[in-house]
Chain A
């Protein structure tokens, strides 16, 4: 199963990583779709959630390192939006790890492919996230307590 990933990238440093990777002949799964924005700061939580609504397994945000933004933006904006989106995902019982923010230096093709692959591995890992697991355990323990009397 190839995880359907949507990568939101900025047009500058982020895009240069993706282009560097492809130009160097690096491969990544075709189930990875790339949407180019001028700047990650323009992305709101709604767009990320829309991706999940339409069936994406994960959303990767590819942005620049601190103080590198061509528009002078800081990552504060996108981090706020990510938190909003994750909170809603949590509320829905989905794994909050489905959104990942990667900050890379320009032209880091290898970094892009590595981060992408790590993300795919996380998403396809069979383990349940800790939160739900502990909740289930707690329920079992409570059950036993009740049964034991």
Chain B
């Protein structure tokens, strides 16, 4: 097979992670699928966090393992070799590869959620760490979102209601304004006139009363400092001219949306002023002229042409417009024709229709009113007219309504205000004649009505007059306000389909297209008299349709009004104390009655904040976008919608939770029941053996994965830097961590201080070192400036290849990026110092002190990196041949396993070593009998050579034989006599010491050294010591043998050995063989030099680097280079004796 074998692991546990590491270790491409957002250790008295984190971090570090977090596998389709795993993603909206966990988004998030859990109130922001307060790897943040808030769904314009309210709750008025503006540039009007369908759906009503959304909307507009600021239009070349007839809210919104999409709209308005009903029919105390003009100018000022005084259909016609390249038309002429009563006396002097009444007031600023005013009608216009009249009138103002109080068409709060101002209403009265004297009106004759069962278009019952109940109301001024109708005839558009009775234009409800192609209609002329927000929504919808029409796209696709999923909340789980909605404050009654200006004064900032705080945040994250504004890694994507994906794999390993989980017994799927906890030693070999046996079965089935055809250069491969001291060029790179570090510390000063050293040839800053861009930038500068050593001051603490358990994914990524494709470590020795957590975070209250400290840290770091030698970069290739010394069960099983996989294996066995019956009878043994190379135990055996490539010299009665092997596997049960034979040189003697030391019975030695620690260090250079003796329980040896084979296999598959930096070295000239160090450590022994002079000796590639030997050395002969006394003294000096630079 040309590609690597792909294995998917579905699970969460430490066992699953270890399996992943094993698989990756032998060259398999692992896809790790877990439902958790990240790995975290939850306090448990049974498990060891260090083991947990080592396992997690080693897996995360491995480039052959790719992690799929938040992913639940739904079904597994396909067959072995071609599985397709269906998955469902739990969205977190944040890319864990980019997020550095800086928590700026959380600081800036405007949504604080509070829930009741077991009676306790828990609060947290909508964006947070996956397990707040607990370390997680990856360090990413996550966002909780719950469908769409009901208020947002209810809004015809789709304004992000919950969003702007959370911003207001945090006093972010300007941001709230901008958010509203995105959907509703005429928002200032809505804050006064909207019928607030959002409030009708507000979930707060389940606790007490809905949030006063419209009032908060108004508050935003009144208080935003950015008044007048509109989102910038993109500079797109014009995609076509569109004609809009009517400059009311529908027409204006259509123009805005079309302009935003790159079209050239022109509005034709028959009146002299623009705004439609906003300018003509709505009195100033409901919408002031300033607000109206300011809001409309916001739209116009984006370059939209309005031609006033032109009546389309009379002054110009559609043919004319078509000739001038107008490619589509939007009819938004509103409903301006006043309905007539059609009763006698309607033409008397003193009888006026309400539109003329209000227009005159708006345009002239004043109007004549009689003393006994009667308004016929019960809609908003009637009430508006009444309230206008009462301000001028010294007598009475009475509204005549044909229905009952509960079924008035006018909005309740408007009626309330009218009452307060002194307007009265006569209910259930139907005018049948207007009485006059001469040609002037003197009264209205009415008839009582009763409600019928017939339901009218507006949802109320239709009243019918009752004969014989006539009565007269005195009046010297009658205003007729029984509604308006659309009048499409004025357009003179032939063939336009119009509703006969109402006069409204008929349209396709999804696209708003009329029966004439390219002609669209919306607003009151299509709906009949309606609320301003619906007209605006129509304008936006028509613009989308026109865009599709002109572009030639399908006009209905995706728009058939499938309702968004509305967020549900459990009110009992929400922690909110009952509080009634804030009351709007009004001017006092006297002032109110004498002014045409606004009667309400709006909320104070405290009231607004409190009212906004009543919002329950139904959708959790409100998409207010404050987090995006501060995330410099661009890790947040609120539009993320990838919900399901298929992951491909050749084989699958399942680690289901619980004991009796369902087995999936299809071929190629391996089930491991997770029964043992992390620290349960006994079960571990069983599970791991199971995993590994699986792996080994696979390698038999897919032998190519172990293609030994990989080129293995047995020659040394060095990447050397110059050894000449004079050519040492050191660079210092500071990571600002997207501005976080540089906000606390003075980076200018740091760079100056670092650069003031003569050996520092380069200092620079990167934004985010743990990113491809950051690493590439650093690597390029290293090359460009010919640097030989470099300090990266970021979040990583050390340059070792090891993984400490305090590490995390950002630190791992940083090193992976720098040592991966960009290979910065090929050109310079790299060292790292942590200025993020240890300086910026720990001391963020005191920037000067933090900077001071960082100066010392950088200086010490430069000293540390400068002592690195070029040999540090050497890598040693591993010879994939194993030599087994000793014939225990474990050794034999391991050897056989490797042979089956195609590796060359040597055996050296003491004579008469019995073979375990289970092994002798296995088919593998039979197959490979004869292929193994056996040698007798020699007279002496010495292990020489370099790590990973040993030459084992065997001496047989004067004859010498040399075996080359990369791994030497020793049987821990070798008798002492045999051990003596292998002790011809250091490595052999070392193995002897280790094996002897682990023998039961030598308790003093066992107390002093913990030999298992040394063993793992030896494993890394290919020396394996298998515990347990021959004759141990059958089967147990077999399990351990398989695990041993897996460890050796992993070692072979890593191809190279890189040595640790912190190893002990001996300066023989200073050593007087006092044996203090050998007492400390079994790896150290005394050897004689050429002159017979004894001194300590330790093989660097087996030293674990603990340094205990260095502490007890009286002369300093034995030392660790990067922890030497000299270096420590220099670091202490850097920290303690700084002069301010």
A-side residues, CB < 8 A to B, are 2, 4, 6, 11-13, 15-16, 18-31, 33-39, 41-44, 46-47, 50-51, 54-56, 69-73, 77-78, 81, 106-107
Q: How far, in whole Å, are A51 and B852 apart by their CA atoms in the complex?
A: 18
Tell me how far the C-beta of B318 lies from the nearest C-beta in chain A, rounded to whole angstroms.
68
Q: Tell me which residues across on chain B come within 8 A of A50, comparing CB atoms.
A: 1125, 1128-1129, 1132
The interface residues of chain B lying within 8 Å CB-to-CB of A107 are 49, 135, 806
B806 touches A19 (CB 8 A): yes
Query: A38 to B1062, Cβ gap below 8 A?
Result: yes
Min Cβ gap B89→A in Å is 28
Interface residues of B (CB under 8 A from A): 49-50, 133, 135, 797-798, 804-806, 837-839, 841-846, 849-850, 852-853, 856, 1009-1014, 1062, 1080, 1104-1108, 1110-1112, 1120, 1123, 1125, 1128-1129, 1131-1133, 1135-1137
Contacts A42-B1110, A72-B1013 aside, 8 further interface pairs with beta carbons under 8 A come to: A12-B50, A38-B1106, A39-B1107, A44-B1111, A47-B1129, A56-B1132, A107-B135, A107-B806
Given contacts A15-B797, A77-B1112, contact A27 B843 (CB under 8 A): yes
Known A-B contacts A31-B849, A36-B798, A42-B1107; the reply to A22 vs B1080 at CB < 8 A is no
Q: Provided the pairs A22-B837, A106-B49 are in contact, do residues A30 and B849 lie with their beta carbons within 8 angstroms?
A: yes
Q: Given that A37-B1123, A77-B1112 are contacting pairs, would A71 and B1104 also be in contact in the complex, using a CB cutoff of 8 Å?
A: yes
**B843 near A16: Cβ-Cβ < 8 Å:** no
When C-beta atoms are compared, the residue in chain A nearest to B854 turns out to be A30
Evaluate contact between B1014 and A72: CB separation under 8 angstroms.
Answer: yes
In the bound assembly, the distance between CA atoms of A110 and B861 in angstroms comes to 27
> What residues of chain A lie closer than 8 Å to B135, measured between beta carbons?
20, 23, 107
Closest 5 CB pairs of A and B: A42-B1107, A72-B1010, A71-B1106, A30-B849, A22-B837
Residues of B close to A31: CB separation below 8 A: 849, 853
A36 CA to B1105 CA, complexed, in Å: 13
Report if A77-B1135 is in contact (Cβ < 8 Å); known contacts: A12-B805, A19-B806, A106-B50: no
Contact pick for B1105, options A20, A24, A29, A38, CB 8 Å: A38
Distance in Å from the Cβ of A84 to the closest Cβ of chain B? 10
B1128 partner residues in chain A, CB cutoff 8 A: 35, 47, 50
A13 CB, nearest partner CB in chain B, Å: 8
Say whether B1136 contacts A6, CB under 8 Å: yes
CA distance A138 to B242 in the complex (A): 105
Q: A54 with B1108: in contact, given A30-B853, A38-B1123 (CB under 8 Å)?
A: no
Known: A22-B842, A44-B1111, A70-B1013. A15 touches B49 (CB 8 A): no
Q: B1135 to A6, Cβ gap below 8 A?
A: yes
With contact pairs A11-B798, A23-B135 given, residues A42 and B806 touching in the complex (Cβ less than 8 Å): no
The distance in angstroms between the C-alpha atoms of A72 and B804, with both chains bound, is 16
The contact sample of 30 A-B pairs, CB cut-off 8 A, is A2-B849, A11-B804, A12-B804, A15-B806, A16-B805, A16-B806, A25-B841, A26-B842, A27-B844, A28-B842, A28-B843, A29-B849, A30-B842, A33-B853, A33-B1135, A34-B838, A35-B1132, A38-B1062, A41-B1106, A42-B1123, A44-B1112, A50-B1129, A50-B1132, A56-B1136, A72-B1010, A72-B1012, A73-B1106, A77-B1112, A106-B49, A106-B805
Q: Give chain A residues whose Cβ lies under 8 Å from the Cβ of B1133.
A: 54
Complex CA distance for A13 and B846, rounded to whole angstroms:
28
Point out which of B798, B849, B1110 has the most chain A C-beta atoms below 10 A from its C-beta. Answer: B1110
* Residues of chain A within 8 A of B1011, CB atoms compared: 72
Contacts of A18 in B (CB 8 A): 838
Report the minimal beta-carbon distance from B1140 to chain A, rounded to whole angstroms: 14
Docked Cα-Cα span, A39 to B1109, in Å, equals: 11
Give the chain B neighbours of A69 by CB distance below 8 A: 1010
| Min CB gap A114→B, angstroms | 15
Shortest Cβ distance from B6 into chain A, in angstroms?
A: 35
| In the bound complex, CA of A73 to CA of B1079 (Å) | 12
Q: How far is the CB of B867 from chain A (nearest CB, A)?
A: 15
Contact status of A77 and B1108, CB under 8 A, knowing A11-B798, A20-B135, A33-B856:
yes
**Among B841, B850, B1009, B1107, which residue has its beta carbon within 8 angstroms of that of A37?**
B1107
Whether B805 lies near A39 (C-beta < 8 A) is: no
Q: Within 8 Å CB of A72, what residues of B?
A: 1009-1014
Smallest distance from the beta carbon of B917 to chain A beta carbons, Å? 37
Query: B1123 to A16, Cβ gap below 8 A?
Result: no
Bound Cα distance A81, B837 (Å): 30
Q: Is the CB of A73 within 8 A of B1132?
A: no
Q: Are A42 and B1129 in contact (CB under 8 A)?
A: no
If the complex has contacts A38-B1106, A50-B1128, are A27 and B845 also in contact, measured as CB distance less than 8 A? yes
Closest to A44 in B: B1111
Give the residues in chain A near B845, CB-CB below 8 Å: 27
Smallest Cβ-Cβ distance to A53: which chain B residue: B1132
Q: Are the C-beta atoms of A22 and B841 separated by less than 8 Å?
A: yes
The closest CB in chain B to the CB of A42 belongs to: B1107
Bound CA span A46–B1062, Å = 20
B1108 & A55 in contact (Cβ 8 Å cutoff): no
CA distance A70 to B1106 in the complex (A): 9
What residues of chain A lie closer than 8 Å to B842, measured between beta carbons? 21-22, 26-28, 30
CA distance A38 to B856 in the complex (A): 21
Q: Which of B837, B1106, B1125 contacts A47 (CB 8 A)?
A: B1125
User: Once the chains are docked, how many angstroms separate the CA of A28 from the CA of B844?
Assistant: 10
Docked-complex contact B1110 and A44, CB < 8 angstroms:
yes
For residue A30, give the distance in angstroms from its CB to the closest CB of chain B: 4
B56 smallest CB distance to A (angstroms): 13
Are A19 and B837 in contact (CB-based, < 8 A)? yes
**Contact across chains for B1108 and A41 when beta carbons are under 8 A apart:** yes
| B850 surroundings in chain A (CB, below 8 A) | 30
Chain B residue, CB-CB nearest to A55: B1136
Judge whether A54 and B1136 touch: CB under 8 Å: yes
A39 and B1057 alpha carbons, distance in the complex (Å) = 23
Within 8 Å by CB of A33, from B844, B1120, B1125, B1136, lies: B1136
With a CB–CB cut-off of 8 A, which chain B residues contact A54? 1132-1133, 1136-1137
Nearest residue in B to A21 (C-beta to C-beta)? Answer: B842
Return the chain B residue nearest A31 by Cβ. Answer: B849
Residues on A with beta carbons closer than 8 Å to the beta carbon of B838: 18-19, 22, 34
Which B residues are in CB contact (< 8 Å) with A20?
Answer: 135, 806
Given A20-B806, A37-B1123, A71-B1013, A30:B1108 Cβ within 8 A: no
* Residues of A contacting B50 in the complex (Cβ-Cβ under 8 angstroms): 12-13, 16, 106
B843's contact among A12, A30, A42, A56, by CB below 8 Å, is which?
Answer: A30
A69 and B1081 CA atoms in complex are apart in Å by 14
Distance from A102 Cβ to chain B, minimum over Cβ atoms (Å): 17
Cα–Cα distance between A47 and B1013 once the two chains are bound (Å)? 27
Q: Report the Cα distance A51→B1129, complex, angstroms.
A: 8
Q: Which residue of A lies closest to B839 (CB)?
A: A30
B133–A24 CB distance below 8 A: yes
Cα distance A78–B805 in the bound complex, in angstroms:
23
User: Chain B: which residue is nearest A16 at the CB level?
Assistant: B806
Select one of B841, B1080, B1111, B1136 contacting A23, CB under 8 A: B841
Cα(A121)–Cα(B1123), bound, Å: 30
Distance from A36 Cβ to chain B, minimum over Cβ atoms (Å): 7
Q: Shortest beta-carbon distance, A149 to chain B, in Å? A: 52
In Å, the complex CA distance between A21 and B834 comes to: 14
- How far does the alpha carbon of A27 sit from the alpha carbon of B49 in the complex, in Å? 23
Residues of A close to B798: CB separation below 8 A: 11, 36
Partner of A42, one of B49, B1013, B1111: B1111
Tell me the smallest distance from the CB of B1117 to a CB of chain A, in Å.
13
Pick the residue among A2, A36, A71 that contacts B797 (CB under 8 A): A36
The answer on a CB contact under 8 Å between A23 and B49 is no
Contact of B804 with A39 in the complex, beta carbons under 8 Å:
no
Chain B contacts of A27 at CB under 8 A? Answer: 842-845
Query: Which has the most chain B C-beta neighbours within 10 Å: A21, A35, A56?
Result: A35
Is A71 a contact partner of B1125 (Cβ separation < 8 A)?
no
- Which chain B residue has the least Cβ–Cβ distance from A74? B1008
Given A33-B1136, A55-B1136: A71 and B1108 interface contact (C-beta under 8 Å): yes
When C-beta atoms are compared, the residue in chain A nearest to B808 turns out to be: A23
